[in-house]
Structure 1
Amino acid sequence: MQEPTARPVGPYASGPPPAALTVHSASLDRFRAAELWRALVIGVVVVAYTLFALVTWPVRRRGRTLADAASEGLVNGFEVLGPTFVKVGQLMASSSGVFPAPLANACLRCLDDVPPVPAQEARRVIEADLGHPVDALFASFDDVPLAAASVAQVHGCVLPDGREAVIKVQRPDIFRRMVVDLRTAYWGARILEKLFEFFRIANATAIIRDLHAATMTELNSAVEADRQARFRTNIGAFGDNKGVTTPEVYWDYCGPHVICMERMYGLPLDRFPDLVHMDTRMLIRRGVKVWIESVILHGPFHGDVHAGNLWVLDDGRIAMLDFGIVGELPESWRQILRDMFYATLIDGDFSRMARGIRSLGYATDNDATDDEIGLQVAAALAPLLGRDLGELRLSELIMALIGIGKKWGVASPEELVLFGKQLGYFERYATELAPGWVIGQDLFLFRNVFPDAVATKALELGVELPDE
């Protein structure tokens, strides 16, 4: 009797090997013919599209200023130049307080889908990664992508056992293209730093190095899938958080450039008019609770919670999607944040933050006592954390944290800025979904962080915490 043929699976069917979870970074120092040619192309495209927008502005004004026209021309150039520059546009769009308003507004369209690669190219990437024809791997595969972004696009599919799934496929040759762009940008930044003080002060080369490190990690699909799987496990670490999820990773169909996962149905969190029939305050509280637990308890936290990555599912749960950007604070800093929230929420004693900072080796020569330093911290942070989150301004929080760090000579980790940026997204959602909600005074958010203290405080205040 002939044995049944084994079901085709990819190389990560038993989980990714340790080597796959190592991020290999291409050096930024190389500048050869490919980078030189790319620099010329970038210069020509940026100048041409910006000049064209300026020249045609008088006849296509339509209420736009000259700055609006120049910005739109520049973004047109970004779209022509490809994924790296689309990501630059996304950065500008999500940092409107840093970049001029006309430019930030013009970059908003970089947040939308970009043109997909042809289905045949996506199929080739899948087949090269998983070692089998697409039609042998899946019961069905949709050649029309559900979404297309700068680095990858997403196709719907059905697994052999009937489960609906999606597969995220990197664009062909994306690694090489982005490495060339980043090398070109790095050398350009070095030249600009030599010529202009502004770029020296801004430390332009360091910005490119940071972008390079983040991009190299984002292009490792095994790392992204592993983070997503770990985050999903951490959500249920305390037996609650039933109202929050993230898609299950289907490792049988994952590879170096593809991630297959559970398909979910819903709509982005910022579709406010479509959510009026739901308890939106509870939705945002559940999402922030899980996110805060990930930041200060588990370690890895979602570092890109814009509305496209935060969905309300048809079954009422909130889902966090796309783990291409993940932050993780060192344990010493997680403890400092725990101390900060404990003081804000429970006892008002910020002196424990001073003790944490001293434990890092900072402020050791400060004449002030821990209690005196605690009062300084309280004066800087308590008014911000005690506000309605809808009124919290990201720039104020970040400046307060950085200001405290500078005062004591503390080098704040980059993830602290990432943490603050995500609070900025939640700030926008709270304005619409939970007006009057105060993050620093919501015991529910910290029930798993400070279980005994929260239970006692809730009893004192006569507050009934939600079941989940």
Structure 2
Amino acid sequence: MIKLLAATTRDRARLSEILGVATRFGLGWLLGRIGIGSPGDADQDAATLPRRTREALEALGPTFVKMGQILATRGDLIGPEWTSELDQLHSDAPRLPFEAIRDAVEAALGEPPETAFASFDPEPLAAASMAQVHRATLRDGREVVLKIRRPGIRPQMEADLRLLAGLAEAIEASNAEARRFQPLAMARQLARALLEELDFTHEGRNADRLREDLARNPDVVVPVIHWQWSSETLLVMDHVAGVKPDSAERLVEAGIDPQAIADLGADLVLEMVMINGRFHGDPHPGNLLCLPGNRLALLDLGSVGQVSARRRDEFVGFLQSLQSGDPAALADTLAVWSADANVPRSRIERAAGEVVARHGQGPLVMSKLVPDFLRLLREDGLVMPPDLLLMFKALMTMDGVLTRIAPGFDLSAAMRRAQGRILADRLSPERWAATAQAMVWELSRIGNGAPRLIQAAVRRLEAEPPAQASSGAAILTAGRWIAWSILGGGGLIAAALIVS
């Protein structure tokens, strides 16, 4: 609470603005429930509360929009009426006249854009709460876009983050009902995500990494970043012209096959998630473009998720248990994911059985599976690891996009196509090389200590009286096991190196 008081003293004006917006949208009583304001003003229209909350978050700007987007992924904690409403959060903002941001652009470029580029369009192409986009042409004739951070946005967002961190700490310490939402962990996640998005070089690096991951796929385009013009506040990238995947009719009119795009999108998202371990965190229609030749472009890469090899293996097991209709195997995976929740095995098995009964051995429709799956987790007190939540959200979003342009789309066919690539990835020399290196390190550590351990065991054995011969035999046995472990480990390393 002390931290919250300090933050409110420092950011009193912003706090007053937040409380004013909450009151305007009829959320005063909600703030009262978490310890801010008066809890006496009961809400007269609970049915519209999710919508009014979304509108208030949009009015408060990018910090709160991002917070709502993170909450929208927590179907394991909040109901579908909230997740569906928060899914609609957008960060549209009025377009600023270029003269209002000219100083920021010139500071980032080191010169006026009219001299830096062969041509520059001062009319904004698009605008959001965090940035504004303009078109330009390089001296070599290449068409580019400039993503320009709005001036003065960073101090406001930092003030928001201080207020939210103090509030989250106060809530976690005093409100048992809200504690299950892990508000402090969520505030920290929000701070990390926003500070990364504020630095446009982070988005540029994401684009470079994804482009490298997908270099072997000529049907996927990730815009090239022009680093000589880019910085923390300005990102210059290739301009990509295409059609949003929000209508099959529009794609057909542009000479693009919706089914081909659906197949490509499914293969792409599975490759990113299951093989590369790096994926677009928000592949909604506004962040995708369909190009001539049935190609797909990935845009707006500020949110890119990472998933470890272990989690990828667990997710493969999750999908395979659904496809084979095996609730016991699914329960094993759910037990691993909910290890910190201390949920009885019987409840895990009940949830697994219901998921398999609803979604097993049939079409794999993530946009239906994920909300239903998260509802079951919420009802049974299970939780999802945070690193998997964004992955499930990305899969569900892409599935919804592809189903819209190709009704009847089923991710199962893409899963079957991906199985060979997944197996090849698991057996690849690159993956085994990392495992072999870890084994070498561990065995060398054991090997370095083995002579000392064996010598100590021999000295102990020599000093043992006859009555303790059984203890000496145990020491000799342990020494033999150490030796056999070293030899066996060496054989495994040799085999791994031969395979590599």
The TM-score normalised by the length of structure 2 is 0.67
Q: Is the 8 A contact 2:63 2:194 kept in 1?
A: no
SS at match of 2:207: helix
- Structure 2 residue corresponding to 1:384, chosen from 355, 359, 374: 359
What code does the residue aligned with 1:395 have?
P
Please state how far the C-alpha of 1:166 moved relative to its aligned partner: 0.5
SS at match of 1:172: coil
Determine if the alignment matches structure 1 residue 235 to structure 2 residue 207. no
The match for 1:155 is 134
Distance 1:163 1:29 in 2: 52
| Shift in CA distance, 38/451, structure 1 to aligned 2, threshold 3 Å | same
- Structure 2 residue corresponding to 1:444, chosen from 414, 417, 435: 417
Distance 2:320 2:173 in 1: 46
Distance 1:257 1:379 in 2: 49
The match for 2:435 is none
SS at match of 1:289: helix
- Within a 5 Å distance, the mapping from 1:30-109 to structure 2 comes to 31=7, 33-50=9-26, 66=45, 77-88=56-67, 98=78, 101=81, 105=85, 108=88
The match for 1:267 is 243
SS at match of 2:136: strand
Distance 1:398 1:327 in 2: 19
- Structure 1 residue corresponding to 2:94, chosen from 87, 91, 115: 115
> How many residue pairs are counted as aligned between the two chains?
401
Gapped runs of 5+ residues in structure 2?
A: 29-43, 427-500
CA deviations 1:182-202 (Å, max 9, x no partner) are 211222233344554321222
Percent of residue pairs bearing the same amino acid type = 30
| Shift in CA distance, 92/114, structure 1 to aligned 2, threshold 3 Å | farther
| Shift in CA distance, 396/352, structure 1 to aligned 2, threshold 3 Å | closer
The match for 1:8 is none
Determine if the alignment matches structure 1 residue 427 to structure 2 residue 399. yes
- Structure 1 residue corresponding to 2:312, chosen from 334, 338, 341: 334
The match for 2:385 is 413
Distance 1:218 1:268 in 2: 23
What code does the residue aligned with 2:118 have?
A
Q: Is the 8 A contact 2:95 2:132 kept in 1?
A: yes
- Within a 5 Å distance, the mapping from 1:155-194 to structure 2 comes to 155-194=134-173
Q: Is the 8 A contact 2:366 2:395 kept in 1?
A: no
| Shift in CA distance, 28/232, structure 1 to aligned 2, threshold 3 Å | farther
Distance 1:234 1:382 in 2: 36
What code does the residue aligned with 1:139 have?
A
Distance 2:410 2:286 in 1: 24
Q: In terms of mean alpha carbon deviation, does 259-268 or 389-398 score higher?
A: 389-398
Please state how far the C-alpha of 1:75 moved relative to its aligned partner: 5.2
What code does the residue aligned with 2:63 have?
T
The TM-score normalised by the length of structure 1 is 0.71
SS at match of 2:305: strand
| Shift in CA distance, 142/284, structure 1 to aligned 2, threshold 3 Å | same
- Within a 5 Å distance, the mapping from 1:128-143 to structure 2 comes to 128-143=107-122
Distance 1:202 1:359 in 2: 20
The match for 1:255 is 231
Q: Is the 8 A contact 1:389 1:430 kept in 2?
A: no
| Shift in CA distance, 403/224, structure 1 to aligned 2, threshold 3 Å | farther
Determine if the alignment matches structure 1 residue 126 to structure 2 residue 98. no
Q: In terms of mean alpha carbon deviation, does 161-170 or 122-131 score higher?
A: 122-131
SS at match of 1:222: helix
CA deviations 1:290-340 (Å, max 9, x no partner) are 222122222221101111112212453111111111110122212323445
Please state how far the C-alpha of 1:37 moved relative to its aligned partner: 2.8
Distance 2:335 2:180 in 1: 29
Distance 1:96 1:359 in 2: 19
| Shift in CA distance, 28/115, structure 1 to aligned 2, threshold 3 Å | farther
Q: In terms of mean alpha carbon deviation, does 72-81 or 328-337 score higher?
A: 72-81
Q: Is the 8 A contact 2:66 2:190 kept in 1?
A: no
CA deviations 1:327-360 (Å, max 9, x no partner) are 1012221232344556777x89999999999999
Distance 1:332 1:81 in 2: 39
SS at match of 1:165: strand
- Within a 5 Å distance, the mapping from 1:315-394 to structure 2 comes to 315-341=293-319, 384=359, 386-389=362-365, 392-394=368-370
The CA RMSD measured in Å over matched residues stands at: 4.3
Distance 1:379 1:50 in 2: 38
Determine if the alignment matches structure 1 residue 197 to structure 2 residue 176. yes
Distance 1:144 1:42 in 2: 32
Please state how far the C-alpha of 1:155 moved relative to its aligned partner: 1.0
Distance 1:93 1:191 in 2: 23
